[in-house]
Structure 1
Amino acid sequence: MKAFSLSARRALLWGLAVLLGSCTDPYMPDVITSPEALMVVDGYLNSQGVTTIRLSRAYGIAAKTAPPAETRATVYIEDEGGARVVLRESSTAGTYVSDNVTLNPARNVRLHFRTATGKEYASDYVPVKTTPPIDAVKWRIENNDLNIYVDTHDDTSASQYYRWETDETWEIYPVYSPGIEYSNGGIRPISARLPSICWGNQRSNAVHIAKTTGLTKDVVADFPLRRLPANSERFYSRYSILVQQQVLTRPEFEYWTLLRKNTESIGSLFDPQPSQLTGNVHCLSSPAEAVLGYVGAHSLVEKRIFISRADLPRDQRVLTGYEACVPPDTVYISGPRAARSPEATILRNAFLSQLYLPLGYVVNNGSTGYTAKPRDCIDCRTRGASVKPSFWP
């Protein structure tokens, strides 16, 4: 059983790594162990739709548990004229949403909230920006990679500062469909079939920003959003990417620029050093208290594209994602081969924890058993969701 032997070798290497790692003393600077839990404000004021704001607390690396979400807060949007839009707490703790509203573009607006303990916070007043449409989301295969780009423009030259977010979805087809299952200490015909298709999903946490202030026209062309190997399993059947575009003010753009440098451009002596990240949210009750987050006000535009396997070149080989799962292992439970298979006892224990699943029966020269593989090779729900997305064709 080569797969089992490989797992054993990996376990041995992992054990050695633990032993070696135990020879070093961890270094935890005082700033990391600080008990202070700073308020974190995540979201923006949607000028033409639903606003979603998440309130939480930052915590140190040494903390054993994350602080609870900031619940039962009173949250609202207010403009300089005094008009307010109330946000209510959703079923997700610490997440507050508004109704579908349109903010007055002639008035500056801000976020204002009060915590359950009575502390009051507010962002700076900011202008309401209108985001222009996305002209195109397109893709090309270049040097064995599939690259995805976005185009946009603003004839009024009022945008200039752009930010994008992406949300990817793809189909997952498992390579096995088991006919048996382990239950009550034995093998029996499977009672409920596992899903034959799932959908993977990944929302990007990369910071995609661009500005056109140095150009004669407010035009963004071929801005790179995503690069994937052209043979990625995400293109095995059907893949989709949703691109969301926002227009920022200059201060908000500078905030995201600094955030990108702090999170993506560190790691060597020649990279920019981490900088103090200050947003536009303040504690009115305690002005010296630092608050993390920047709240802007703008509309959101979206564009989704699909890429099917048939859209790729015919000679383009695409992975299934299950290459390491083939071939299946064989576990003999009776006959001469069972005596030479000490792995069977270990695998039976794995069945009890549902980490290893049987696939089908095997009869070979007087020995009987079954084929099996880890759950991740059989149940696609370990890699995605079995519920079809509402936007999927």
Structure 2
Amino acid sequence: MKLIFCIISFFSFLQGCIEPFEAETQDFENVLVVDARLTNEEKRHEIVLSRSYRLEEGVTVPESNASVQIMDETGNTYRYIEETPGLYKSVSAFAAQPNVGYELLITSKDGKSYKSETAVRPTKIEIKEVKAEIEFDDLGKEGLQITLVNENPNAEAKFFRYEFEETYKIIAPYYNPFEFEVADSLYFAQGDFDSYEINIIARTEEARTCYTTNASTDINLSDSERNMDGQSGKTIVRFLRSDDFAISHRYSILVKQFAITSDTHGYYSSLESFSSSQNVFSNVQTGFLSGNIAALDSDELVLGYFEVASLSTERYFLNFTDFFPEKTLPPFPINCETTQAPPLVSFNPHLDGGFVVDEVGPESPLLTGILSGTIAYHAINEEYEEQPENLVQPIAGEAPYLVKSTECIDCRALGSNIKPEFWIE
């Protein structure tokens, strides 16, 4: 049971794709989990260390206060420091060099030592082309299939792993240049009837057009060894149905190609077979997934892999109308047809007549929605009548404004209003 559990905790850490289920740990082994990657990028590289957790806990436990370093075969040492719990970054920027062996060395806070096998960076292979084509998925649904073609004329690199980051534009369908301002959130002031005060003011920040970015989570591998001409062929990177909101306006994808070794490819293939199955207990032969990191002074198990890879990237942009000029835009992810008119003041009726008002004041559905960020200003409620001044008994249920869900009016509820530096219209 403990070996099965270790695998599940590692998959959850790397992929987040295991279906949650109720179970209790019968036998628990505290295992170090390592997520380490080194590439040809000149940057401060990251290594994440954690500990396995019990099934019923479901919370990653960071491995803090460890000593982490990478050594190459020429004698260079690259130290890492812990910036946040469990996240270690190299002290200085560096890049993995071709035909140089690298080793990962870890010493835990309790003095246990771990070491990886020597890993060598494969030759970097440039991406030839990234493009989108209209295709149909396995269910016959039409969409855009984003593919990559990679030229490898010398067949020096035969194994690849792919990731992507997608960024897309969001346009609020019911954007309004005005917004709520809560001027008074207290019903009583100095013991007198004061009511709540909510004003409408002009917006000072962009809220119509935003951008959001998502990263891939699946394992996507390619093997060009079977291709006699040295071509890795066409690799499917992403499929987006034609009704996917992400391609409603303008969409961009950054494809990342990692040239990896045969051993690394084999490790990820095994990991993929476990993580892609809905039930790891019945669909595959369970056991310990051995990586290339081991304890030096004990037979303690270690989960994870030290990967040294060559990275190539390519960014691609597309517009929905370029591929589907006759189709309507994909539906907005939020129902924006519903318009509400929440009362500014809502009194609870008293059993003996009248209304109940405590020292805090009556409820205000409008104020509550504004403060929680769930509603935004849409329009003036033309049917609302201003309450007379010095009214002894306020009128319950009056709603001065019409509102919609915040996402429909303010795009910042779904993304950032800061345009990415790489963005091209």
CA contact (8 A) 1:134 1:150 kept: yes
Partner of 1:54: 48
**TM-score normalised to structure 2 length:** 0.75
Superimposed CA distance per residue, residues 118-144 of structure 1 (whole angstroms, 9 cap, x where no aligned partner): 322211112221220011111111231
Partner of 2:316: 305
CA contact (8 A) 2:119 2:307 kept: yes
Could you say if the C-alpha distance between residues 27 and 313 of structure 1 is closer, same or farther in structure 2, counting changes exceeding 3 Å?
closer
1:213-232 to 2 correspondences below 5 Å: 213-232=225-244
Partner of 1:165: 163
Partner of 1:44, secondary structure, is: strand
Cα shift at 1:91: 6.0
Superimposed CA distance per residue, residues 128-182 of structure 1 (whole angstroms, 9 cap, x where no aligned partner): 2122001111111123111111111322212111101111000111123342415
Return the match for 1:82 from 58, 75, 80.
75
- Is 113-122 or 134-143 further displaced after alignment? 113-122
CA contact (8 A) 1:356 1:373 kept: yes
**2-structure distance, mates of 1:182, 1:85:** 52
**1-structure distance, mates of 2:101, 2:116:** 11
**2-structure distance, mates of 1:131, 1:149:** 19
Partner of 2:146: 148
1:29-108 to 2 correspondences below 5 Å: 29-31=24-26, 34=28, 36-50=29-43, 51-63=45-57, 65-67=59-61, 69-90=62-83, 94-97=87-90, 99-108=92-101
Could you say if the C-alpha distance between residues 381 and 107 of structure 1 is closer, same or farther in structure 2, counting changes exceeding 3 Å?
same
Gaps of 5+ in 1: 1-25, 335-343
Return the match for 1:247 from 252, 259, 268.
259
- Is 45-54 or 156-165 further displaced after alignment? 45-54
1:1-393 to 2 correspondences below 5 Å: 27-31=22-26, 34=28, 36-50=29-43, 51-63=45-57, 65-67=59-61, 69-90=62-83, 94-97=87-90, 99-143=92-136, 144-178=142-176, 179-181=178-180, 183=182, 184=185, 185-190=196-201, 192-193=203-204, 195-267=207-279, 271-285=283-297, 287-322=298-333, 324-331=335-342, 346=365, 348-364=367-383, 369-393=400-424
**2-structure distance, mates of 1:161, 1:128:** 12
CA contact (8 A) 1:180 1:189 kept: yes
What is the Cα-based RMSD across aligned positions, in Å?
A: 2.8
Cα shift at 1:259: 0.9
1:165 is matched by which residue type in structure 2? E
Could you say if the C-alpha distance between residues 266 and 327 of structure 1 is closer, same or farther in structure 2, counting changes exceeding 3 Å?
closer
Cα shift at 1:332: 5.8
**2-structure distance, mates of 1:373, 1:208:** 40
Partner of 2:124, secondary structure, is: coil
Cα shift at 1:289: 1.6
Could you say if the C-alpha distance between residues 361 and 105 of structure 1 is closer, same or farther in structure 2, counting changes exceeding 3 Å?
same
Could you say if the C-alpha distance between residues 27 and 71 of structure 1 is closer, same or farther in structure 2, counting changes exceeding 3 Å?
closer
Larger helix share, 1 or 2: 1
**2-structure distance, mates of 1:238, 1:137:** 16
Could you say if the C-alpha distance between residues 356 and 277 of structure 1 is closer, same or farther in structure 2, counting changes exceeding 3 Å?
same
Superimposed CA distance per residue, residues 27-52 of structure 1 (whole angstroms, 9 cap, x where no aligned partner): 52325x73x44222213122453332
Cα shift at 1:294: 1.0
CA contact (8 A) 2:180 2:370 kept: no
Gaps of 5+ in 2: 1-20, 137-141, 186-195, 346-362, 386-397
CA contact (8 A) 1:236 1:319 kept: yes
**2-structure distance, mates of 1:369, 1:273:** 64
Could you say if the C-alpha distance between residues 364 and 86 of structure 1 is closer, same or farther in structure 2, counting changes exceeding 3 Å?
same
Could you say if the C-alpha distance between residues 308 and 275 of structure 1 is closer, same or farther in structure 2, counting changes exceeding 3 Å?
farther
CA contact (8 A) 1:146 1:229 kept: yes
**2-structure distance, mates of 1:317, 1:95:** 47
2:257 is matched by which residue type in structure 1? Q
**1-structure distance, mates of 2:342, 2:103:** 64
**2-structure distance, mates of 1:352, 1:298:** 48
**2-structure distance, mates of 1:325, 1:274:** 47
Could you say if the C-alpha distance between residues 319 and 129 of structure 1 is closer, same or farther in structure 2, counting changes exceeding 3 Å?
same
- Percent identical pairs in the alignment equals 24
**1-structure distance, mates of 2:216, 2:47:** 18
**TM-score normalised to structure 1 length:** 0.80
CA contact (8 A) 2:36 2:46 kept: yes
Partner of 1:23: none
CA contact (8 A) 1:181 1:359 kept: no
CA contact (8 A) 1:79 1:107 kept: yes
Larger Rg: 2
**2-structure distance, mates of 1:92, 1:28:** 27
Superimposed CA distance per residue, residues 235-288 of structure 1 (whole angstroms, 9 cap, x where no aligned partner): 222110001111111111111001111111334998435443221111224x32
The size of the alignment, in residue pairs, is 355
1:181 is matched by which residue type in structure 2? F
**2-structure distance, mates of 1:316, 1:169:** 22
**2-structure distance, mates of 1:289, 1:88:** 24
